[in-house]
Amino acid sequence: MTEHSPTMWEEIKGQGYSRRDFLKFCAWTAAFLGLESSGIGKVVHAMETKTRLPVIWLHGQECTCCSESFIRTSHPIVGDIILDHISLDYTETLMAPSGHQAEKSLHDTMKKYKGEYILCVEGSIPLGDDGVYCCIGGKTMLQVFEEAASGAKAIIAWGNCATYGCVQSAKPNPTDATTVQKLVSGKPIINVPGCPPIAEVMAGTILHVLTFGRIPELDGQGRPKAFYSRRVHDTCYRRPNYDAGLFVETFDDENAKKGYCLYKVGCRGPVTYNACAINKWNNGVSYPIQSGHGCLGCSENDFWAHGPFYKHLASFPGFGIETTADDIGIALGAATAVGITAHAVSTNIKKRKEINKEVEISRIKNIEKEGGEKNG
């Protein structure tokens, strides 16, 4: 139990950093945020006196499993995060007030902490039909989001919905579900994909910002390198089975009972960047592969587009659910063979005469060596 909540400066001091380091962090943050150097003073000030970082958490087209995952975090536990580390001023899932009192909480923070709050977004934002597919308090999610984004210091896009559009953006994307990164520019966006992201990855991302005073280093797709720089396959404990060519052929077969690699029953670990095999789920208890099911690729763009999930190769667009590139390739190969045979037969019929003539005329009389000079 904390006696008094330390300011961020005190917390950072507690981690063994000097004030100079702290100022450097702040300068770095300011630079990252694209603030003028005059803005640096403000960032320092904000971080030293503000007790808890204000956070607004918006809900768009979602299943709320990102929130559910977040409350499962075990280090730190979520109670400590919301009481001691951040001020979670708006989240429809947990906040006490409803209706216009809830909207008041949102607007108070947007006004009072303009430019200082972190905006978390869970869910996608539908653009179809002017955004009527998701409304909150009579406004479209798009309107609410744009307003909240304009005053945010940085944005965290939670989960596959906010980063890549998740299942609702799967073909035919009936509501034109759209992602945070497609709608905002000029603000730092941290993409934390996964359906949902691992609880401790979510907590870790927030704590990184709080502890180090800056957003974590991101990869080319805006994901924190600390959690998304490795494929599940690179750290999967079944990897030796993969290398040894030991595969589960079908669920619950002898190989499955031995824990062989799930590649042939569709595991997407080789094309999926996530920390599942390292951090594991629910405080390290397991992860999909450990419990016998292949990775679905839930932290990847368009993971739902690579079905069927139980085949290594996705079905080929426009053909049956089971038709892979290999089936089509084999069919084309066979067609080619047929074509070649037909062509060869036709050649022999049509060109026979001509060839016979050629054979006769073309006695090679002089074999000369001068052809080579034609170089050049």
Partner 1 sequence: MAKRIVVDPITRIEGHLRIEAEIENGKIIDAYSSGTMVRGIELILQGRDPRDAWAFTERVCGVCTTVHALASVRCVENALDIKIPPNAELVRNLMFCALYMQDHVVHFYHLHALDWVDVVSALKADPKATSEIAQSISPWPKSSPKYFSGLQKRLTTFVESGQLGIFANGYWGHPAYKLPPEINLIGVAHYLEALEWQKEIVKIHAILGGKNPHPNYLVGGAPVSININEANALNMERLAYIQQLLQNAKTFIDQVYIPDLLAVAPYYLDWAGIGGGVSNYLSYGDLPTNGYADISSFKLPRGIILNRDLKNIVEIDPTDEEEIKEYITHSYYDYSDGDKAGKHPWKGETNLNYTGPKPPYDQLNVSSKYSWLKTPRWKNKAMEVGPLSRMLVAYAKGDEQVVELTNAVLKKLNAPVGALFSTLGRTAARGIESAVVANWALEFYDQLIANIKNGDSRMANMEKWEPETWPAEAKGVGLTEAPRGALAHWIVIKDKKIDNYQLVVPTTWNGSPRDADGQRSAFEESLIGTPVADPEQPLEIIRTIHSFDPCLACAVH
Partner 2 sequence: MGNEMRRVYVWQLPVRLFHWINATSILVLAVTGYIIGNPPAIQSSAEASFGYWFGTVRFVHFLFAYIFFFNFVYRIYFGFVGNRFAKWSNFIPHSKEQFAEMGRVFKIDILQIAQAPLKAIGHNSLAGFMYFITFLVFLFQAITGFGIYSAMSNSWFPKLFTWIVPMMSGDAYVRVWHHVMMWFFVIFSMIHVYLVFYHDYVEGRGTISSMGGGWKFIEKERLKEDVTH
Q: Which residue is nearest to ligand SF4 (CB)?
A: 269
User: Of 62 and 300, which CB lies nearer to partner 2 in the complex structure?
Assistant: 300
Residue 130 found at the interface with partner 1 (CB under 8 A): yes
**At CA 273, angle to CA 271 and CA 276, rounded to 5?**
115
What is the distance, to the nearest Å, from the Cα of residue 214 to the centroid of all Cα atoms in its chain? 21
Stretch that binds ligand SF4, among 9-17, 179-187, 203-211, 234-242 (CB under 6 A): 234-242
Site string for ligand SF4, 35-74 (x = CB under 6 A): ---------------------------xx-xx--------
Strand partners, 74: 77
Residue number with CB closer to partner 2 (138 or 371): 371
Cα-based angle 194, 123, 177 (whole degrees, multiple of 5): 105
Q: Give the one residue of 26, 33, 215, 276 binding ligand F3S; rule: CB under 6 A.
A: 276
Element (H, E) at 256: helix 254-257
**Least distance from partner 1 to the Cβ atom of residue 149, Å:** 17
Q: Are 195 and 298 in contact (CB under 8 A)?
A: yes
177 sits near ligand F3S (criterion: CB under 6 A)? no
- The two structure tokens encoding residue 349: 């019929």
Answer yes or no whether residue 239 interacts with ligand SF4 by CB under 6 A. Answer: yes
3-state SS assignment for residue 74? strand
Query: Which residue type sits at 179?
Result: T
Instruction: Select the span of 87-95, 143-151, 169-177, 364-372 touching partner 2 (CB under 8 A).
Output: 364-372
Where do contacts with ligand HEM occur on this chain (CB under 6 A)? 270, 313
Alpha-carbon gap, residue 310 to 267, rounded angstroms: 7
Contact set for ligand SF4, span 84-113 (CB under 6 A) = none
Q: Applying CB under 6 A, does 163 fall inside the site for ligand F3S?
A: no
Backbone angles phi, psi at 77, to 5 degrees: -75, 155
Q: Least separation, in Å, of the C-beta of 301 and ligand F3S?
A: 12
For 211-221, give one letter per residue: b (16+ CB within 10 A) or e: bbbbbbebeee
Residues 213-232 that bind partner 1 (CB under 8 A): none
Q: Which does 263 bind (CB under 5 to 8 A by kind): ligand SF4, partner 1, ligand HEM, none?
A: ligand SF4
Interatomic CA distance for residues 217 and 307, integer angstroms? 32
Binding-site string for partner 2 from residue 220 to residue 259, where x marks contact by CB under 8 A and - marks none:
xx---------x--x-----xxxxxxxx-x----xx----
Q: Which of 58, 120, 296, 304 binds ligand F3S (CB under 6 A)?
A: 296
What pairing do the DSSP bridges indicate for beta strands 125-126 and 177-178?
antiparallel
**Binding of partner 1 by 52 (CB under 8 A):** yes
**Nearest C-alpha neighbor of 294 from the set 306, 282, 309:** 309
- Nearest distance, CB of residue 216 and ligand F3S, angstroms: 19
Rounded Cα distance, 199 and 67, in Å? 9
Rg (CA), the chain: 30
Q: Which residues bind ligand SF4 (CB under 6 A)?
A: 62-63, 65-66, 122-123, 159-161, 166-167, 195-196, 232-233, 236, 238-239, 242, 261-263, 267, 269-270, 289, 294-295
